[in-house]
Structure 1
Amino acid sequence: MGHARSLRRLGAEMAGTAAFLLLVASVPSWIVYETWADRIETAALWSVAGPDCPVVAPAAELFGAKGPYTFSYGGAQFSRRFGHVSCAAPQGGGLIPGEVYHVCQFNGPAALAVATPEGVTYFKPGVGRPATVTVRGGKASCVVGGWFRA
């Protein structure tokens, strides 16, 4: 009778230890899942659909007499005529992290210039129209649209 009780107690201790080890082993996978889910959510949030911004030739009147508001972000230089901006650096890829790219949303820039190692591109989304600029692999693209409203 005493031997059976000892075996049951040993079995319960082993089950408790196994459950604890299973819990400890699942923590890294939970962290990986949370990181992956956050990366996917950020990329989706900053993926804005819309018509392409018109690409224009550089012109003195593009930014008006005051000149552009200019800042650098993610290896590119951004210039705008009006408004405010919000930027992020989402990471592409699925479970295996991909390249980091840069996205900036403008709430009403009228005109934009984006200088990258590939060259300078001039966009004219229009007065009061939001624009989202994405820089991937040194190439800038722009769509009319975005959710940023400072």
Structure 2
Amino acid sequence: MIWQVGKGRRMRLTLGQKITFVIAGAIIVALPAWVIGGTYLKDRNAALALSRSWTIEGPPCPALSAAAFGERGFKAPKSVDYSGVVVSRQFGHITCSALRYGQAWGLSEYVVCQFTSPNVIKVETRKGEWYFAPGMGQPATISTPQDEARCVLASNFTLNPRRE
């Protein structure tokens, strides 16, 4: 490697100077990647923990058509708009969150809501409307991956804190 000093004079870099330039270059390239990557990985770990606490297993909720929902006289007057997904219920309480796609590697998210005892649920997304009838006193959880609603008869959401 040659270093030019002044007009017509050239000075060769010493081995120590070459090593210093290589280390400085590595730091300049690695530092932003470390800062950004470290933050992303921390966010991913938090998203994974959130996903574990919001992923609920259970039997599917009884689904209804829009016509059956209306014919049975169901109403879902309590509504929440969470990130563009409108979730309505007849009774009970609701809590919602957004989960990342792809084992929390993705940057886009979908909505998950848990209910204490909704009786009936109506979900509106960009792809359409879904109707479910979990029943009185039955906890439920809906999720909307790819803007399609799914419902299970289980929930971790409660208004009574657990005492051990």
TM-score (norm 1): 0.73
Verify the 8 A CA contact 2:47 2:104 in the aligned structure 1.
Answer: no
Q: Does 1:40 align with 2:48?
A: yes
1:76 has 2:88 as partner: no
For 1:31, what is the secondary structure of its paired residue?
A: helix
Is 2:69 aligned against 1:58? yes
1:21-55 per-residue CA deviation (whole Å, 9 max, x = no partner) reads: 8xx96973543432221111111111100000000
**Aligned counterparts of 1:86 and 1:134: Cα–Cα separation in 2:** 12
- Which residue of 2 is the match for residue 140 of structure 1? 149
Distance 1:91 1:129, change over 3 A: same
Is the aligned partner of 1:130 residue 2:139?
yes
Alpha-carbon separation, structure 1, partners of 2:123 and 2:108: 20
Offset of residue 128 of structure 1: 0.6
Aligned length: 128
**Which runs of 5 or more structure 1 residues have no equivalent in the other structure?**
1-20
Pick the structure with greater CA Rg: 2
CA RMSD of aligned residues (A): 2.5
TM-score by length of 2: 0.67
Maintained 8 Å contact 1:130/1:144? yes
Q: 5+ unaligned residues in a row in structure 2: which ranges?
A: 1-26, 160-164
- 1:93–1:99 contact (8 Å) kept in structure 2: no
Taking the aligned partners of 1:96 and 1:111, their CA distance within structure 2 comes to 33
For residues 93 and 41 of structure 1, the distance between their equivalents in structure 2, rounded to whole angstroms, comes to 14
Structure 1's consecutive aligned runs of 4 or more residues displaced over 6 angstroms after TM superposition are none
